[in-house]
């Protein structure tokens, strides 16, 4: 399946073609239980690309990433450093996707096999969107992009993934359950702001 996904991803030379390639990819069982393929939201020209985990119930219903409670917190967090998925201005915009385009049943964690299977699509997605920097939201995004887990250890330290500067952060769903961790998330957001202002 990995080879097949790699072929399909490699042939897509626009974001719309990639969306269509994912939509017609039949080798991942998650697709069977999903209502929608969740591809992305925001502005592809944005300097910052956020990679989350997978659609939840609301995302599956609406076909858009991060539209539930975690998404509202994500919008608030990035709004505080002047970035929004609604902004028409690439400087102030966000582009948002997930490791997996389909909701895992019952919102279970994505399996390592599912992450590996869909990784060629994610890598192609990053190449086509061509962001200046990437934010990895939580363990699944770190597993996909860095091949590492341990978000509480990884967060706040820049790494390189897909050939770009990449900052792991705790997932907003984690922050909803652990509000005390918002302090560290705020420090991470300031690092993103500082890096954008530098370059």
Residue 75 sits in the site that holds ligand URA (CB under 6 A): no
Task: Specify the residue, 9 or 136, whose C-beta has the smaller distance to ligand URA.
Answer: 136
98 DSSP 8-state letter: E
Pairing of strands 94-98, 41-42: antiparallel
Locate 84 and state its tokens. Answer: 């929004």
Q: What angle do CA 2, 32, 72 make, to 5 degrees?
A: 90
Q: Which of 5, 25, 46, 56 binds ligand URA (CB under 6 A)?
A: 56
User: Which stretch in 13-21, 24-32, 68-76, 84-92 sits in contact with ligand URA by CB under 6 A?
Assistant: 68-76
Site string for ligand URA, 101-140 (x = CB under 6 A): ------------------------------------x---
What is the number of the residue whose Cβ is closest to ligand URA?
52
Terminal Cα distance for the chain, rounded: 39
Least distance to ligand URA, CB of residue 198, Å? 28
Residue 70 sits in the site that holds ligand URA (CB under 6 A): yes
Reduced to 3 states (helix: H, G, I; strand: E, B; else coil), residue 153 is helix
Q: Which residues pair with 134 in a beta bridge?
A: 49, 166
Least distance to ligand URA, CB of residue 56, Å? 5
User: Which stretch in 42-50, 61-69, 117-125, 188-196 sits in contact with ligand URA by CB under 6 A?
Assistant: 61-69
Locate 81 and state its tokens. Answer: 């450093």
Question: Are 96 and 45 in contact, with CB atoms under 8 Å apart?
Answer: no
User: Which stretch in 66-74, 121-129, 179-187, 188-196 sits in contact with ligand URA by CB under 6 A?
Assistant: 66-74
Residue 59 sits in the site that holds ligand URA (CB under 6 A): yes
Question: Are 128 and 18 in contact, with CB atoms under 8 Å apart?
Answer: yes
Residue 35 burial (10 A CB sphere; 0-12, 13-18, 19+): middle
Residue 53 sits in the site that holds ligand URA (CB under 6 A): yes
> What gap in Å lies between CA 121 and CA 35, rounded to an integer?
19
Point out which residues bind ligand URA (CB under 6 A): 52-56, 59, 65-66, 68, 70-71, 98, 137, 173
């Amino acid at each position: 399946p990995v080879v097949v996904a790699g072929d399909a991803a490699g042939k897509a030379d626009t974001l719309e073609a990639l969306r269509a390639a994912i939509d017609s990819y039949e080798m991942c069982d998650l697709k069977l239980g999903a209502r929608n393929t969740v591809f992305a939201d925001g502005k592809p020209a944005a300097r910052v690309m956020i990679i989350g985990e997978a659609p939840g119930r609301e995302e599956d219903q609406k076909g858009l990433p991060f539209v539930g409670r975690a998404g509202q917190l994500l919008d608030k967090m990035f709004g505080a450093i002047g970035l929004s998925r609604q902004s028409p201005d690439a400087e102030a915009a966000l582009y948002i996707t997930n490791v997996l385009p389909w909701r895992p049943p019952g919102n279970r964690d994505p399996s390592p096999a599912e992450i590996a299977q869909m990784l060629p699509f994610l890598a192609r997605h990053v190449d086509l969107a061509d962001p200046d920097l990437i934010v990895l939201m939580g363990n699944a995004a770190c597993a996909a992009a860095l091949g590492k887990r341990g978000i509480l250890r990884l967060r706040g330290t820049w790494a390189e993934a897909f050939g770009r500067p990449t900052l792991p952060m705790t997932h907003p769903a984690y922050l909803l359950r652990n509000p005390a961790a918002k302090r560290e998330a705020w420090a991470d957001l300031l690092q993103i702001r500082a890096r954008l202002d530098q370059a």
